[in-house]
Amino acid sequence: MQLILVLGDQLTPSVSSLQKHNDGDVILMAEVREEATYVKHHKKKIAFVFSAMRHFAEDLKVRGLNVIYREYDAPDNQGSLSGEVQRAVAQLTPEALIITAPGEFRLLDAVQNWEHELGIPVSILEDDRFLASRNDFADWANGRKQLRMEFFYREMRKKHSVLMEPDGPTGGQWNYDTENRRAPLTNLDVPAPYSADPDTITQQVLELIETEFPDHFGDLAPFSYAVTRQGALEALASFIQERLPKFGDWQDAMLQDEPWMYHSHIALYLNVGLLDPMECIQQAEHAYRQGHAPLNAVEGFIRQILGWREYVRGLYWHLMPDYKERNFLHASRPLPAFYWTAQTRMNCLRQTVLETQQNAYAHHIQRLMVLGNFALLAGLDPDQVNDWYLQVYADAYEWVELPNVHGMVLYADGGVLASKPYAASGAYIKKMSNYCAQCSYNVNAKNGPKACPFNYLYWDFIDRNAQKLRGNPRMGFVFKTHERMSNEKRQAIREDAQRFFKALEENEKV
Ligand code: FAD
Ligand code: DLZ
Ligand code: SF4
């Protein structure tokens, strides 16, 4: 008899560990304190993972499989995966333990010691739910000077025959990103997001979360995520039907009180295995071939899944564990309290933190150009910023969070992922949102107490990091503008930035 451990983000019936299942084997699933608190995840994230785990275990049992399911509040719950495995091994004396490789480095590292600790063979199988294996990525990366997503993506399009014609990419171009940057219209009629009613299992989990994790960030109610494969498929179908046609046009747009925009809201389902990346890609391509959605929308959506998602996962495993230790810009400022409380006069940040607190979700441009841009410009400590992102989003796992935050947002990797820092002044947020109209600051003012902080923090960032960034060929124009600034202007920028940072340090509301 073999023991098969299935983790909370391995909720796929065909996951490699379950493919090894033979009659008589036992499957172990465990809700444990260690996984729920290694960072203090948003309440909605824990509720989603526990409820999805319980539904998945029920499905396996209905199929006649022998599942031991350890609930969080069982009196003898061991509190850790290794503790639960040890207990099951002592009770059942299996010949071997089988597990699909965990998605996070810290857990894989721990599991690699289990054979020694348990005294039985432990098979760690590849997680083949991705479209590029770790070896595929290493083969692509080895020998390249630059590891840019765009070139990886083109290889993936060819390899998987996605949006390809006999003579090249569909439509003649690989990438329609320039068509995906429309500034928002305030009268957009954004459809309501998919919403599922909590069933009995979910209601029990919600009670458990309220009791066990009262001090974790975020609102637990209302809870309307899907928690089953069937529900996740419905959420995907509603995206393809209602939002995909406009996904491209409004991909980078942000609107006050419109947290969901035309995004798909499926990352949390993909990341636990309730959806398969190729089925999402194929459904989107089908919508294009049927004339339901335009190419800029479909290519844009597919690029996120076939390109970015696979690329960041490849990069993570290619460069960990050293990747996490990098801090190219020597950033060290503590994370301001408003990332938790939303107590800030900067409307863009207040909105985004509030929506994150309510939904355990913010869309890409909010994560990148509002929360991330501020973290970059203010020089926030990468460890604290990474921890924050890992805690607050329902889709957050280190393999996807870290490259996005450490690389894309903070440039802490010195340019492995991004060719230049995604730094921007208030003008970008003004162009891509309607946040500035309801802000206490003036986005058009460059200096002084009323000026939008992003404006002077941008130039202060350039000034502070000139030595490190001046050689970047993509930043030539920025540094030319900086060099042309008068000494008075530079002095005003420094003084504004210092005043702002002092207020932050003294916990004043900025
Ligand atoms: P959509 O905008 O509808 O995109 C479709 C799908 O493409 C997503 O569901 C996701 O699976 C994939 N995708 C899109 N962009 C990326 C990307 N940059 N990297 C990887 N996959 C991508 N995504 C996570 O899944 N988990 C995270 O912890 C996470 N942290 C992020 C942190 C920062 C600072 C940034 C800038 C991005 C982060 N992303 C993360 C990527 C992206 O923002 C989310 O995947 C997306 O917002 C999820 O919402 P959605 O499903 O509506 O995505
Ligand atoms: C995210 C999560 C949470 C909150 N809880 C559990 C749990 O109790 N048991 C479990 O097996 N998995 C959980 N997970 C998912 C794991 O954290 C995830 O498998 C690792 O981070 C590796 O990606
Ligand atoms: Fe954000 Fe500045 Fe606009 Fe206010 S004015 S919403 S701080 S960009």
The pLDDT tens digits for 478-489 are 999 999 999 999
Q: How much is the average pLDDT of 226-250?
A: 97
Q: How much is the average pLDDT of 9-21?
A: 98
Q: Taking CB atoms and a 6 Å cutoff, what residues make up the pocket around ligand 3?
A: 346-348, 426, 429-430, 435-436, 439, 441, 443, 452-454
CATH of domain 2-125: 3.40.50.620
Assign domain 338-505 to its CATH superfamily: DNA Cyclobutane Dipyrimidine Photolyase, subunit A, domain 3 (1.10.579.10)
Q: Cα dihedral angle (199, 205, 210, 212), rounded to 10 degrees?
A: 180
Decide: residue 133, CB within 10 A, 0-12 exposed, 13-18 middle, 19+ buried.
Answer: middle
Decide: residue 382, CB within 10 A, 0-12 exposed, 13-18 middle, 19+ buried.
Answer: buried
pLDDT of residue 241: 97
* Domain-wise residue ranges, the chain: 2-125, 134-191+243-319, 338-505
Q: How much is the average pLDDT of 88-111?
A: 98
Could you tell me the pTM of the whole model?
0.97
> How far is the centre of ligand 2, averaged over its atoms, from the C-alpha of 41 (Å)?
11
**Confidence label for 177 from pLDDT (cuts 50, 70 and 90):** confident
Residue nearest to atom 7 of ligand 3 (CA): 346
Residue nearest to atom 11 of ligand 2 (CA): 7
- Record: fold of 134-191+243-319: 1.25.40
pLDDT of residue 186: 73
For residue 393, pLDDT beyond 90:
yes
Q: How many residues make up the chain in this entry?
A: 510
Q: Looking at the CA of 430, which ligand is closest?
A: 3
Q: Which two tokens stand for residue 411?
A: 């440039």
**Amino acid identity, position 158:** K
Cross-strand partners of 66: 26
Mutation probe of ligand 1 site: the residue of 317, 339, 364, 380 with most atoms within 8 A of C-beta:
364
Does ligand 2 have an atom closer than 6 angstroms to the CB of 54? no
